[in-house]
Structure 1
Amino acid sequence: MARSIIVGAGMVGLATAWHLQERGVEVTIIDREGVAAGSSWGNAGWLAPAKTIPLADPSLWTYGPKALIDPDAALHVPVRVDVNLWSFLARFAAHGTQRAWDRAMAALTPIDRLALQSFDELIDGGVESSTHEGPFIIGFGHARHARGFMRDVAGVIQHGQSVHVERLDDPRALAPQLSSQIGAAYRMDGQRFIEPGPFMHALAESVTARGAEMRMGLEVSAVDSSSRPSVMLSNGETLTADSVVIATGAWMPRLARVLGVNVPVQAGRGYSFTVDTDEPAEHPVYLPTQRIACTPYQGRFRIAGTMEFRGPDDALQHRRIQAIVNRVRTLMTGVDLDNRHDEWVGSRPVTPDGLPLVGQTRAPNVYVAGGHGMWGVVLGPATGKLLAERIVTGRTDPAIAPFDPLR
């Protein structure tokens, strides 16, 4: 029986393992901490292909400079000498054009269209969890603030997705957490959400029940492909297999750079916390102007935001949590923002061109899967399925062809 080693127990790594098992491959999963220890746990859990769009767009040139001097801005770049960071930011900003946005959106659309059915496939195949239907409630201080959001929706539709958005007369009927400061609101249908932690652990349990070996608490120090692919572990052990998949998110360059993957991957850190609400939260809420995403989560309301360009192992910055609180305080009501639970930071792997890195490295039978930016959860199952096909059959599905890690 063929054997594969998956480095990384986030959504992408676990989904790849599940689909390799579907094709008869025996898998070992290694993670330095545990299941969903990175950016897969504390995110908003949105399965929203209509918002799975390139991060860099033309608004970056007006919003970015203002963000650098606003301590509460959603975009945060620490002021320090870091040649690699500033080089990445220059390349990222260069993609903030309409032409680059359209090019990246055209590349993302085929896998966006597979995203929801890929979750259904996991659940139908025995993953004991569920997805939840919207609607998503989109709130603005004034109707004129919705222009950028509606422009993005129009762009997504132009590239081949079906998106339904309509104006709401009474947004509080669906999202009582919104205050009277929300002057215009819309509902977006056809999207879903999950509770990320429970879903991730259900996926891990399914993979384990099918015979996977889970090696948690061990770090992979190197990947060798001089003969048969092998990984060297922090405890001195060496494991060999027929294939190796590096799915370590923002930490991917540590193993993949020497394998010819030279596209920069920068940690774009996101923060979240959960709060109690006076009335139950039933639907996701999005505040595009503030770049805040909220989701019902285990009886509370998860509030997530910020794109902080720091090192993936840097400590949680409490000022970023406070910045989120400051941005939403007047826009929400009946929400206990001062009694926060599960304050969290996770490092999302961002590439300059906004496209993931999925495919074979220069080393035979050694693959990478990551670089999804904010979209690792929603695109993880589809990525895992198509990469498993590539590993077993050698065929590259057109939906992941633009994500060549050697580009």
Structure 2
Amino acid sequence: MPETKTATVVGAGMVGLATAWHLQERGVEVTVLDRHGVASGASWGNAGWLTPGMAMPLADPSLWAYGPRALLDPSAALSVPFRFDRTLWAFLARLMAHATPGAWQRAMAALTPIDRIALDAYDELEAGGVHATSYPSRWVVGFERERESRPFVHELRGVARAGQEIRLSRVPDGVRVPHLSRAVQSIWTLEGQRYIDPGSYVQALATSVSARGAKVLSDARVESVRAVPGGAEVAVHGHDAVTSDAVVVATGAWLPELARQLGVRTRVQAGRGYSFSVPVDGPPIDHPVYFPARRVACTPYQGRLRIAGTMEFRGPDEPRRPARVRAIASSVRGLFEGVDLDSREDEWVGSRPVTPDGLPLVGRTAAPGVYVAGGHGMWGMVLGPATGRALADLITTGRTPEEIRPFDPLR
């Protein structure tokens, strides 16, 4: 194959910037384009969890019980608007079709190879000059009733059967965890995972990419991508077209706008998540906390606690809905002690790119020289660096690494 000397990456989130960084490692001159700027999509306000042990398909059999109830509960973590949207309802039908034990096991088997190298990929970035830190930590996982823990434990056992080491243990009854109230009756810990401050980490990655010679351009709204003789061309609104040997489209929840031009048929739906930060009395909470039954993730964040939740299937550019923030806060009220859920700051909404089968879209498109990297759902942060490394290998060698082979965008 012809040597790749130049590349354009569309999207300045974790996945796009990690791809740019690894292309630079292989001697490729890179330009990064983004419509708003670094970490302007799902990369800023997410929970920052680097949890390959929990990077599993969204569609699981519990959706058949939980989904219909959630549709009738405006405060539920799963939120779908009641309106005529043929594309959305078609996506939901495909998602539910994958909510079977067999489909979950097949998707988990496909995710396991990249899950197993996800943290090594972070080590490579940090050893290679990205001035940011991923923090090893235990996860505290809490339930109000013992029976609520069973689905979570069952899922993690499924992850272990697929080939990951899962270090999950039950905290003995009577042992209290600081800042958890007595309403949390069943407490577990999960070891071997990490967390980051996602916005700061992605900004540090962008700084590293720039320092190595890349152009990182904001306010660059891409209108089309197409193959041209000798490479690929990106049309940018209000700017000259950008031509390079290869183009990577890594636009997260906005992927469908360009992917349809490139022969990618798998639907990508925006699954919006919300977050905010709150103060903690006394010593700060120095480890993540997860309430699976409430679907709420909590992470140490700049001396406060970031609380994140919700899977809201709306358009990525729709306005933030304050009621979703209030619903998240209400769902964990009574589960904490010394956490002020009413002194909220940093309220945020970001759109995660969700596929019906739970697998990302990473690889070649129907347009020669054009690749996509997206569709990671809730796991773009943990799998972004490993995705970028594998895709850079594909672009520069022509060989598809095994860890992304199941993610063929043209499947």
Does the Cα contact within 8 Å between 1:32 and 1:220 map onto a contact in 2? yes
The answer for the alignment partner of 1:303 in structure 2 is 307
TM-score for the superposition, normalised by structure 2: 0.97
Structure 1 CA distance for aligned equivalents of residues 190 and 217 of structure 2: 41
2:62 equivalent to 1:59? yes
Offset of 1:187 from its aligned partner?
Answer: 0.5
Instruction: Tell me which amino acid in the other structure corresponds to 1:183.
Output: Q
The answer for the alignment partner of 1:189 in structure 2 is 191
Structure 1 CA distance for aligned equivalents of residues 340 and 234 of structure 2: 47
Structure 1 CA distance for aligned equivalents of residues 175 and 286 of structure 2: 11
Offset of 1:303 from its aligned partner?
Answer: 0.2
List aligned pairs for 1:133-148, cutoff 5 A.
133-148=136-151
The answer for the alignment partner of 1:15 in structure 2 is 18
C-alpha RMSD of matched pairs (Å): 1.1
Quick one: structure 1 residues 6 and 172, their matched pair in 2 at CA, closer, same or farther if it must change by over 3 Å? farther
2:320 equivalent to 1:284? no
Does the Cα contact within 8 Å between 2:225 and 2:261 map onto a contact in 1? no
Q: Report runs of 4+ in structure 1 exceeding 6 Å deviation.
A: none
Match of 1:356 among 357, 360, 374: 360
TM-score for the superposition, normalised by structure 1: 0.98
Spell out, residue by residue over 1:269-289, the C-alpha distance to the aligned partner (whole angstroms, 9 max, x if none): 000000000030100000000
Offset of 1:179 from its aligned partner?
Answer: 1.2
List aligned pairs for 1:3-402, cutoff 5 A.
3-169=6-172, 175-227=177-229, 228-279=231-282, 280-402=284-406
Q: What's the secondary structure of 2:213's corresponding residue?
A: coil
Offset of 1:224 from its aligned partner?
Answer: 1.8
Structure 2 CA distance for aligned equivalents of residues 151 and 343 of structure 1: 33
Offset of 1:238 from its aligned partner?
Answer: 0.5
Quick one: structure 1 residues 34 and 172, their matched pair in 2 at CA, closer, same or farther if it must change by over 3 Å? farther
Structure 1 CA distance for aligned equivalents of residues 141 and 239 of structure 2: 51
Structure 2 CA distance for aligned equivalents of residues 267 and 99 of structure 1: 25
Offset of 1:170 from its aligned partner?
Answer: 7.1
Offset of 1:167 from its aligned partner?
Answer: 1.2
Structure 2 CA distance for aligned equivalents of residues 221 and 170 of structure 1: 58
Does the Cα contact within 8 Å between 1:171 and 1:185 map onto a contact in 2? no
Offset of 1:171 from its aligned partner?
Answer: 8.8
Unaligned 5+ segments in structure 2 are none
Q: What's the secondary structure of 2:323's corresponding residue?
A: helix
Length, aligned pairs only: 406
Unaligned 5+ segments in structure 1 are none
Instruction: Tell me which amino acid in the other structure corresponds to 2:27.
Output: G
Offset of 1:169 from its aligned partner?
Answer: 3.2
Offset of 1:335 from its aligned partner?
Answer: 1.0
Offset of 1:236 from its aligned partner?
Answer: 3.7
Structure 1 window deviating more from structure 2 (359-368 vs 222-231): it is 222-231
